[in-house]
């Protein structure tokens, strides 16, 4: 009996050892793959500027805080001969603040933040993005460095409107009562023009669908290079 146990013992001991070796061999490829995945990690640097086109119109007349914003990249962002953001990548964001123009003072303005990149492959990346410039919108400017789009000042337009009404009043007064009537008409017309200008709300900021804005990435974003491109059948 002892002789049989002696003969069987090496086989019993070798079984677990072989199983362990097989497990190690099975696990080793995954360990080899992880550095490959890490090597394909790419970074979009902070300060990167990417042009995007709005997919819908935005107006301070109807927009509300929290409204969604949809856009699409129009030009690829390339770094070290690698496309990190291809054209046609969807960009989603929201309106963080909106203000209509006042009647006496205060210009219309809207603050937009971008929050998500959606690649053609469906790969989704969270990001902090803001608007750096609005080359596609007329009579607007950027307010400071916070990414707020503001309507240009309309002081000159209101002064012109008041002056035009005063001139009309002067002509009407002059036709009816000569020089004295012209002075009175100019005064009345000027007062009316000033009142109209003061009571009229300023023009809203309006960004039509297709308007190009420049998005700036506010902090470094790490992306997986393996998931950028759309899968082909």
- The 10 Å Cβ neighbour count of residue 63 is 22
N- to C-terminal Cα distance for the chain? 65
Same domain, 115 and 128: yes
Look at residue 140 in the predicted model and tell me its pLDDT.
81
Same domain, 75 and 111: yes
> What are the C-alpha distances in Å from 198 to residues 102, 109, 114, 169, 195?
9, 19, 36, 18, 5
* 154-213 pLDDT per residue, tens: 444 444 444 454 455 444 444 555 555 545 544 544 454 444 444 555 799 999 999 999
CA distance 36 to 208: 44
Q: Which domain holds residue 185?
A: 155-201
Same domain, 71 and 112: yes
Bigger pLDDT: 153 vs 192: 153
Same domain, 111 and 223: yes
Same domain, 102 and 28: no
b/e code 159-191 from CB counts within 10 Å (16+ = b):
eebbbebbebbbebbbeeeeeebbebbbebbbe
pLDDT tier, 40 (very low <50, low <70, confident <90, very high otherwise):
confident
Look at residue 229 in the predicted model and tell me its pLDDT.
84
Total domains, the chain? 3
Q: Specify the CATH number for the domain of residue 100.
A: 2.40.128.260
Same domain, 114 and 179: no
Same domain, 111 and 129: yes
pLDDT tier, 10 (very low <50, low <70, confident <90, very high otherwise):
low
């Amino acid at each position: 009996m002892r002789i049989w146990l002696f003969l069987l013992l090496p086989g019993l001991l070798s079984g677990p050892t072989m199983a362990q070796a097989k497990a190690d061999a099975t696990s080793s490829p995954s360990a080899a793959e992880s550095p490959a995945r890490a090597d394909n990690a790419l970074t979009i640097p902070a300060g990167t500027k990417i042009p995007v086109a709005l997919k819908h119109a935005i107006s301070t007349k109807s927009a509300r805080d929290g409204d969604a914003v949809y856009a699409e990249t129009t030009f690829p962002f390339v770094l070290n001969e690698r496309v990190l953001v291809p054209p046609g990548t969807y960009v989603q964001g929201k309106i963080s603040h909106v203000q209509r123009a006042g009647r006496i003072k205060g210009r219309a303005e809207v603050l937009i933040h971008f929050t998500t990149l959606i690649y053609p492959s469906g790969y989704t990346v969270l990001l902090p993005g803001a608007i750096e410039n609005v080359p596609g919108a007329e009579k607007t400017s950027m307010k400071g460095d916070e990414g707020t789009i503001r309507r240009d000042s309309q002081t000159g337009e209101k002064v012109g409107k008041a002056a035009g009404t005063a001139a009309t009043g002067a002509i009407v007064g002059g036709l009816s009562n000569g020089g004295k009537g012209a002075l009175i008409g100019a005064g009345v017309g000027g007062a009316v023009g000033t009142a109209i200008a003061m009571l009229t709300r300023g023009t809203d900021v309006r960004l039509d669908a297709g308007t190009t804005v420049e998005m700036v990435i506010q902090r470094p974003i790490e992306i997986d290079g393996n998931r950028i491109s759309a899968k082909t059948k």
